């Protein structure tokens, strides 16, 4: 019983913390650019505001437009149930492994792309076409990179991979792990629309990807989509943190282990947030036709990772 309670707590924890994580990244970025910046809890206020506003829907939009926000947030929420956040192994590990996670990601992207096309605006179509291009190149890399870790652990189960890494701390330094980390980091940036691929802080720019698709949304629909994209960032970062630096994650359900897991996860996420903020301050957005090259590079890294973990076993 307490196992399911902890499971429920992890989801609430992820949902509650995701806007804060994005706020933190924005705040660090503002500080690095010597701006004062909005406080880290600004995204909560944005959510509150959006949930109170009226949702305006174009009269050309079909049911897809109204359904997509729920589909996108449901698929992201489902991923949050499968990814190790605070405790391994998770109760729902038997329901899905890394392949389910990859396809759930793709499901969310699919609905978002449809929703971008649905109202028939020019921006939405452009955004959808770009998003699908990026997703088609990023998805195989995600699977390959995590699969190279799975080879070392002997299981495609995300929880089992983390447990295997906890039992043998030296595997973290193997080239397979490092290459997979680099590949997954690039993919995480591409999937969550961070800077070298997509600029998260612009609202109207010709080369935007994520913003272009949700341009027509307002009110609670927009709030759901934004929350889902923040949750996606949270899930990707905790996946990176827990797969590659698993120390501190709880393996038992004692209150001590759980609180220690919360503290270490917060520290790991804060470090990753600093890394992302520093990187977003240093690099400029890539030209769109350079994005496939970046993703090919990450695919090659994942390929090398899987080769070395397969052949050096």
Partner 1 sequence: MNSLFSQLAVLGSSLTLIFGLMLLWHRSVHAYTTAFAWQSVVLAGIVAVVAYFERDPELYFVAAMLLWLKAWFIPRLLRRMEEPLGAEQELQPYVNTATSLLISGLLVLFAYAVCRPLVALSHLPTRAGMPLALGLIFVSLFVIASRKKALTQVIGFLMLENGIALLAVLGTYGIPLVVEIGVFLDLLLGFMVMQLFVYRIHETFESIDVEQLGRLRH
Q: What is the residue-wise DSSP string for 155-197? A: -S-HHHHHHHHHH-GGGGGSHHHHHHHHHHHHHHHHHTT-TTT
Contact between residue 65 and residue 115 where contact means Cβ atoms under 8 Å apart:
yes
Residue with smaller CB distance to partner 1, 168 or 205: 168
* Residue located via tokens 């994580």: 21
Q: How far is the CB of 152 from partner 1 (least distance, A)?
A: 13
* Residue located via tokens 């030209």: 287
Residue with smaller CB distance to partner 1, 270 or 275: 275
Q: How far is the CB of 242 from partner 1 (least distance, A)?
A: 22
Burial class (CB in 10 A: 0-12, 13-18, 19+), 272: buried
Residue with smaller CB distance to partner 1, 153 or 179: 179
Q: How far is the CB of 301 from partner 1 (least distance, A)?
A: 8
The distance from CA 269 to its chain's CA centroid, rounded to whole angstroms, is 12
Q: How far is the CB of 52 from partner 1 (least distance, A)?
A: 46
Contact between residue 313 and residue 151 where contact means Cβ atoms under 8 Å apart:
yes
Q: How far is the CB of 187 from partner 1 (least distance, A)?
A: 15
Residue with smaller CB distance to partner 1, 89 or 292: 292
Binding site for partner 1 (CB under 8 A): 170, 173-175, 178-179, 182, 292-294, 296-297, 299-301, 303-304, 307-308, 311-312
In which region does residue 34 sit, left (phi positive, over 0), alpha (psi from -120 to 50) or beta (all else)? left
Residue with smaller CB distance to partner 1, 57 or 303: 303
Residue with smaller CB distance to partner 1, 48 or 175: 175
Contact between residue 21 and residue 43 where contact means Cβ atoms under 8 Å apart:
no
Residue with smaller CB distance to partner 1, 137 or 158: 137
Residue with smaller CB distance to partner 1, 107 or 297: 297
Instruction: Read off the DSSP letter of residue 216.
Output: T
Q: How far is the CB of 174 from partner 1 (least distance, A)?
A: 7
Number of residues that make up the chain: 313
Q: How far is the CB of 304 from partner 1 (least distance, A)?
A: 6
Nearest-CA neighbor of 214 among 310, 21, 73?
Answer: 73
Nearest-CA neighbor of 127 among 303, 172, 135?
Answer: 135
* Residue located via tokens 């790991």: 268
Instruction: Read off the DSSP letter of residue 247.
Output: T
Q: How far is the CB of 275 from partner 1 (least distance, A)?
A: 18
Nearest-CA neighbor of 269 among 225, 229, 236, 226?
Answer: 236
């Amino acid at each position: 019983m307490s196992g399911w309670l902890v499971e429920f707590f992890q989801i609430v924890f992820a949902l509650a913390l995701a806007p804060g994580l994005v706020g933190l990244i924005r705040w660090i970025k503002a500080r690095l650019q010597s701006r004062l910046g909005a406080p880290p809890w600004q995204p909560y206020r944005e959510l509150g505001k959006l949930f109170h506003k009226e949702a305006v829907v174009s009269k050309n939009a079909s049911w897809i437009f109204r359904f997509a926000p729920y589909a996108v947030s449901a698929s992201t929420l489902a991923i949050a149930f499968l990814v190790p956040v605070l405790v391994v192994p998770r109760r729902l590990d038997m329901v899905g492994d890394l392949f389910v996670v990859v396809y759930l990601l793709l499901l969310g992207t699919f609905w978002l792309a449809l929703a971008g096309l649905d109202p028939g605006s020019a921006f939405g179509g452009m955004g959808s076409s770009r998003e699908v291009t990026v997703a088609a190149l990023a998805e195989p890399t995600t699977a390959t990179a995590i699969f190279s870790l799975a080879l070392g652990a002997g299981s495609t189960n995300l929880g089992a991979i983390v447990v295997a890494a906890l039992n043998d701390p030296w595997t973290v330094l193997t080239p397979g792990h490092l290459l997979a980390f680099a590949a997954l980091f690039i993919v995480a940036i591409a999937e969550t629309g961070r800077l070298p691929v997509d600029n998260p802080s612009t609202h109207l720019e010709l080369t935007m990807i994520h913003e272009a698709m949700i341009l027509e949304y307002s009110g609670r629909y927009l709030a759901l989509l934004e929350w889902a994209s923040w949750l996606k960032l949270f899930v990707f970062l905790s996946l990176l943190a827990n797969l590659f630096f698993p120390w501190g994650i709880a393996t038992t359900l004692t209150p001590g282990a759980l609180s220690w897991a919360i503290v270490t996860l917060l520290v790991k996420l804060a470090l990753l947030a600093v890394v992302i903020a520093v990187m977003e301050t240093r690099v400029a957005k890539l030209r769109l036709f350079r994005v496939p090259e970046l993703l090919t590079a990450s695919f090659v890294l994942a390929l090398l990772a899987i080769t070395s973990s397969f052949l050096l076993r």
